[in-house]
A and B are shown apart, each in its own frame.
Chain A
Amino acid sequence: MTVRVQREDFDIGAEIAAFRRADPGIGAIASFIGLVRDMNEGEAVAGMTLEHYPGMTEKALAGIVAEAKGRWDIIDALVVHRVGELKPLDQIVLVVVTGAHRGAAFAACEFIMDYLKTQAPFWKKERTAQGARWVEARATDDQAAERWSEPQPK
């Protein structure tokens, strides 16, 4: 399991190649990349600052990955999340899940993102023409995480 919080950008290809470590038992890799958009709530976004809680954020991410590994038959999972100053087109988050088969890898990847969005301590502050504003949590994110509260088939 690898969890990283960093200011620097990440290279998707290099991250996945390093995470596979030429393991011939891996038959499927599912990945998700979250990006900064130039619009939110109907307003142009010039950029954002991502804040986190050093220590707790890493702990929360590790807990989410451990939960995913307990629920699905996957080999491993990687989470890289950026903090600091970001602008539209920038990469924010990378989740990579390796497994023998795609089903568990897809499900675990989605689960990790849904839980990350509702449980990992990160906060976005956007810069718009009207000034800076904290991004509000979305009810749809809570609903997405709620789906996983029912026991899932292994």
Chain B
Amino acid sequence: MNIRILYFARLREDMGTAGEMFELPAEVSDVKSLRAQLAARGGASAHAFAPGKAVRVSVNQDLARDNTPVKSGDEVAFFPPVTGG
């Protein structure tokens, strides 16, 4: 029951890593609960996922919302608002 988490741009710098494998606790079913779990780990994770931080998320390479489901095998990415073009 693992997911792959990727971090980009400022989130990658804040986390000090480009990604990690994360074992899904039973209480995580969507983006909102995943984010809460990550924030609860403390340290860099608490800082990066502090409430009010502008963090965007994708699940399996599609932009996602708080209520987007997260399940084993998914690729979840966290990143700041995009600034291309």
Contact = CB atoms under 8 A, between A and B. Distances in A.
Interface residues of B, number: 17
Interface stretch (B6-14, B27-35, B38-46): B6-14
Contacts of B9: 51, 123, 125, 134
B58 A124 contact: no
Interface of B: 6, 8-10, 54, 58, 61-63, 77, 79-85
Interface of A: 34, 50-53, 55-56, 59-60, 81, 92-93, 113, 116-125, 134-137
22 contacts: A50-B84, A51-B9, A53-B77, A56-B62, A56-B77, A60-B61, A81-B84, A81-B85, A116-B85, A117-B84, A118-B82, A120-B85, A121-B58, A121-B77, A123-B9, A123-B79, A134-B83, A135-B83, A137-B54, A137-B80, A137-B81, A137-B82
